[in-house]
Structure 1
């Protein structure tokens, strides 16, 4: 449309210049006739240059690498052109559309957990449009296809998947949630020739008061585990003490048993003569006189004392 306006304006300028030139040539003055001839000649030349430049500008288009050009004619899509230097009719316009991977970040998408706790998701979506489907996508959806098709689906799919989990189970199940959302997006966008290259779940967050409650619960749980560990340690020590006492008692029992056996053997081997002989051996060799209380029995046999004395004298 702009090209036609420009051409019409150029032709109007040329006609006006021609009329003015013709009017000036009718005058008797030499300068006026010269100016009239200049206008008559310059008008068409300026018009042609104007139309030529505008036509060339509208016809030649440079499509950058990794992009496609959608050709419009009077507001309707008439085709597409590939990357490089391309030409179209001057009355057509071209809109550049990338076919490279596009990165879109979704900040603080709201969702809900199974117990209706607020969840805030930050995700990154990488998509790419099929080069062969650009004009069809523009024709059926429009240049704002991302806002129409993608944004709402990403938010809704995250809501549908996150609500399946309790708040405390969302973080451990980030990967299943991401895969589920990506699978749903691939199925929904493939019919529009939009490829989901990747979906990243950057962050999952909750309200500050909920995070404080979770942190307090974790601290309490940790303290409970520490106390439980202390109880286990004390129980283990008590069991060790019981086992030690049992072992010591068993050892004492063994000692007592062996001592009793030894005493029994010793008692069986003792005779009166052996006892008296052992007693005499304990007495000092310088004893000449022994005084005993009256009425007391003397454990030593007098004959044995004499025999022992005689043996001592013989040894001298």
Structure 2
């Protein structure tokens, strides 16, 4: 009679363990994939086909696991170096915004593994190769002055290379673009030479304008003299000479004479003769 309670106790313990195991198995049989995530189901270490997308999914308990990948936008800054068409060294740093294709995470899991491996083994080397393609098509000066075209060639090359790995490039930007010290010195010397040339052109234009002004003034003076000569030849020219003589006398600042004797009708008396009576009396 004393053994019956002990058997009942063991039944309760076993029942409790079974219930706990069932609860544990039930929780371990499902996985929840949140928005912005994609999962890869592995059973006994083998990745299963078909990505686990947003929602709740069944998975075999105890013998399976799920690798979760972030498929939202990722950003990494990747350096790159290359030589241009004119054999100048050119280095750049690219900020790359990308995300993983949720439907390709199984392939990514099988071939690359983690996101860190994707950046180190895929994105970084492909960025380097894409930059080499874009830089080799132009000189270093064209790479600087036509930066948007350089970026466009780089984007096209990078997109075509990464899409086969299930990586979607959303945007790229050139963070930094640097060239060798020798080229920097050459650019500086060229700018100085251009400034000197522009200054020389300006001085030449200024001298040409001044010379043209002198020519115009000379032409104007010659024309005025020609018109004056024609006026003197015409009837009444003597009056013009008399008027100019009076105006010249006034501008000279001499006092008004008390007596003004005009010339006669003779040929040499066109200019008036002026004298002061006071001076005559003395």
TM-score for the superposition, normalised by structure 1: 0.63
Question: Deviation of residue 173 (structure 1)?
Answer: 1.5
Q: Which residue among 70, 74, 94 is the counterpart of 2:40?
A: 70
Alpha carbons of 1:230 and 1:53: their partners in 2 closer, same or farther (altered >3 Å)? farther
Q: Does the Cα contact within 8 Å between 1:138 and 1:145 map onto a contact in 2?
A: no
Residue 189 of structure 2 is matched in structure 1 by: 216
Please tell me whether the aligned partners of residues 94 and 173 of structure 2 are also in contact (alpha carbons under 8 angstroms): yes
2:145 maps to what in 1? 172
Tell me the residue number matched to 1:102. Answer: 74
8 Å contact from structure 1 (residues 112, 163) kept in 2: yes
Deviation of 1:217 (Å) = 2.4
| CA distance in 2: counterparts of 1:274 and 1:65, whole angstroms | 119
Per-residue deviation, 1:41? 7.2
Alignment pair present for 1:200 and 2:170: no
> Structure 1, unaligned stretches of length 5 or more?
1-29, 267-272, 283-316
Match of 1:250 among 211, 214, 223: 223
1:235 pairs with one of 204, 208, 212: 208
Q: CA RMSD in A?
A: 3.4
Any stretches of 5+ residues in structure 2 without a counterpart? 240-263, 274-282
Instruction: Tell which has more relative contact order, 1 or 2 (C-alpha 8 A, sep 6+).
Output: 2
- The separation in 1 between residues aligned to 2:237 and 2:187, in whole angstroms, is 74
- Match in the other structure for 2:243: none
Q: Structure 1, residues 109-144: CA drift from partner, whole Å, max 9, x if none?
A: 111122222211121222233222221332344433
Give the Cα separation in 1 of the matches to 2:162 and 2:78. 17
* Equivalences, count: 238
Cα distance, 1:274–1:246 mapped onto 2, change above 3 Å:
closer
Aligned to 2:88: 117
Counterpart of 1:12 in structure 2 is none
Q: Give how far 1:54 is off.
A: 5.7
**Structure with a larger share of its residues in helix:** 1
Which piece of structure 1 moves more, 63-72 or 40-49? Answer: 40-49
Q: Which has the larger radius of gyration?
A: 1
Q: Distance in 1 between matches of 2:11 and 2:143?
A: 80
Structure 2 distance, partners of 1:274, 1:47, is: 153
Q: 2:85–2:139: 8 Å Cα contact kept in structure 1?
A: yes
Q: Is the 8 A contact 1:118 1:207 kept in 2?
A: yes
Q: Relative to structure 2, which stretch is displaced further, 75-84 or 247-256? A: 75-84
* Alpha-carbon spacing, 1:46–1:226, altered in 2? closer, same or farther (3 Å): farther
Q: Distance in 1 between matches of 2:124 and 2:20?
A: 45
Q: Secondary structure, in 3 states, of the residue corresponding to 1:198? A: strand
Q: How far apart are residue 162 of structure 1 and its match?
A: 0.8
Of residues 145, 160, 163, the one that matches 1:190 is: 163
Q: How does 1:1-16 map to 2 (within 5 A)?
A: none
Task: Tell which deviates more after alignment, 166-175 or 213-222.
Answer: 213-222
